[in-house]
A and B are shown apart, each in its own frame.
Chain A
């Protein structure tokens, strides 16, 4: 069985950063991703990112992706694409289903004492009458179709959810020529940033706050939808229905960390709404309650590409230390720098909840492992 010093599962912003950091210090690392290209969510983010200059703010997401890919290539990070990790066994063995062709798959077993789980997140579903019809899809899926595969999912779209994903994907579909029929939001307020909402409203797009989807119409595909006002107790206001003429419906109802592998490996998970649900507890090194298994990025709580990059860097530096490529002092300098930048990113009103959840995650690790101050 082939053995590495470190295996990274998932090549998004977090995984790439972990591999880059570790490789920079000489760690023998393999990066595995289930897609035909590394980059994760970033490959399809065509908008300019918020943040500070040092986090590449003002740069379009897919260009941040290119920079990360180039860095990892220049360093010579070994990458296995089309490889879906199905399980982690005995804490150090990774089973990979490698897609060789459309019909042919092979199983690979690989070993590493240090594993980083950076598998990102999956989209939440919303159930309503007709939700299984073709044409009802995740907002992220629609974004992949239009920005990465260059396929329009339809001509007329209704968006469920006014979070940043819902707003940004609506905008990008509109750029591609899709007619945006409206955005419904059950809460009384838009949950994404005002600037993202305003970008849509000045193009004449209506955001129906206090509304939800009642039904998707159609027999073999979406041909329309009914939306209606919601009461404070979540029942529908009768007579408030509006018919929407659309041929696809996107659901932007949030994401949750992909924790299957961590759970299987025996890492302790904690629940926090601010993290998007269940996520592995971890320590200052991003190491989970299972020795040698690390986490980073959306897989350990939904945040941003900028935070995913920093968490990946911490895991990479910690593993370089654990494998003897960095001294404790050198590693500490790298880790402390990243933690400082994370603190900046989680500053302010909108970061408060996340910061609290993240601190709880660290505290939970200490509690579970019986670590004393």
Chain B
């Protein structure tokens, strides 16, 4: 996998190893994607899901599997994941826009309805997006879940807010 030398996963790689939900499922509503590709001895994603939609199973080093029928996109697993590797995508709104939610453990310098620059898995600026939600629950222990509205073609790409070091 190319990510072994770069740290940057691609949708193609994730699809290849069967870790990406179908287009059809994403159009039906929010779903979690675990971008976790190595055999980490770890399972908070599985134990945190109130809907039992993530399975790691008996061997703690197995990869997490999201059940597209059970997942409701509640994002509990997003903050429970020790590797901050789980994202929620949703392409059910319209033909034009969709949403991406991701874990965020930095000072939050934006608020609902702000237009922000969006970054892909390589940290490159790929498009503008609108902040839909910034949620911090007590259980999440200081890890925010940020939800951005982005062009539908960018839902598979956007994974963070674009970072500039100036401020």
Contacts and interface: CB of A to CB of B under 8 A. Distances in A.
Contacts of A116: none
A188 to B, nearest CB: 6
Give the interface size bracket for A toward B. Answer: 35 or more
Given A198-B35, A202-B122, A52 B43 contact: yes
A60 B105 CA distance: 13
Interface string B108-145: 00000000000111111000000000000000010100
Given A175-B105, A201-B8, A47 B60 contact: no
Contact of A202 (B37, B80, B119): B119
A350 B61 contact: yes
A194 B123 contact: no
B6 A207 contact: yes
Contacts of B42: 50-52, 57
Interface in A191-215: 193-205, 207, 209-210
A349 B40 CA distance: 9
Given A58-B80, A207-B7, A193 B60 contact: no
Interface string B23-47: 0000000000001111111111001
A239 interface: no
Interface stretch (A68-76, A119-127, A260-268, A340-348): A340-348
A190 B163 CA distance: 23
Contacts of A60: 141
A53 B37 contact: no
A197 B40 CA distance: 14
A47 B44 CA distance: 14
Which of A49, A179, A199 has its CB near the most chain B CB atoms (within 10 A)?
A199
14 contacts: A52-B42, A53-B47, A58-B81, A190-B5, A195-B38, A195-B40, A195-B85, A199-B83, A201-B122, A203-B160, A204-B119, A204-B123, A205-B123, A347-B59
Interface of A: 47-53, 57-60, 63, 174-175, 179, 188-190, 193-205, 207, 209-210, 344-345, 347-351
